[in-house]
Amino acid sequence: MFSISTLLDVVRIPPGLFSTPIKKAAMNILKDKYESMINAELGYIIMILDAKVEELGKMIAGDGGTFHKVTFEALTFYPKLQEIVQGEIVDITDFGAFVRIGPTDALLHLSQVMDDYLKSDVKSGMILANQSGRTLKVGSTIRARITAVSLGKASTMGKIGITCRQPFLGADDWIQEEIKKSIAGTTDSKSKVEAS
């Protein structure tokens, strides 16, 4: 889930940036520090949107920089368990596919694609289903449910697991087929009720 979070920090403005407007200097420092970071509470910090910097800073003996309190807004992405996400397949492996959801990739294991025997063809970048003939390939867009989230420390990327083994999940064309079948089933049920 994407959200905008308000955060507080203290930034050190080095003497080399004293000629730069204070907000611009603080924004650059915040961007270097926070963007592309993973936080266990906030998730993925995608970008810094805005900052309010206290103009009056503090100095510490022996340090030429000034320290300013900053309130800033950051665009974040925190994958929630059971959340439905839309993504694009970016890589096929022997054990499944990696799906780009938001700023990161999630693992769609072969066992979580569908109820069918599947074969992964890494060379052609496809996953093939034996009985149904359905395929997934690099570039396919899918709808999936998040089943596992493990956001580690800032040094690790975190791990996200997803599934398509539920109704109205999977590749976009599969979902359209399910909707048509569902509508046809409802129409048939109404006809039978009206006939009796």
CATH tag, 2-77? 3.30.1490.120
What is the per-residue pLDDT for 189?
58
Closest by CA to 33, choosing from 158, 154, 153, 159, is 154
CA angle in degrees (0–180, nearest 5) for 14-155-13:
10
Share in percent of the chain as helix, strand, coil (round to 5): 20, 45, 30
Architecture of domain 84-175 in CATH? Beta Barrel (2.40)
pLDDT band at 3 (very low <50, low <70, confident <90, very high): very high
In which residue ranges of the chain is CATH 3.30.1490.120 found? 2-77
CA distance 97 to 126: 9
Using pLDDT thresholds of 50, 70 and 90, give the confidence band for residue 133.
confident
- Tokens in use for 67? 């320290």
Q: What percent of the chain has pLDDT over 70?
A: 91
The single-letter code of the amino acid at 56 is L
pLDDT value at 56 more than 80: yes
- Spatial separation of the C-alpha atoms in residues 77 and 144, rounded to whole Å: 16
Instruction: Provide CATH 2.40.50.140 ranges for the chain.
Output: 84-175
Round to whole Å and give the CA distance between 57 and 66. 6
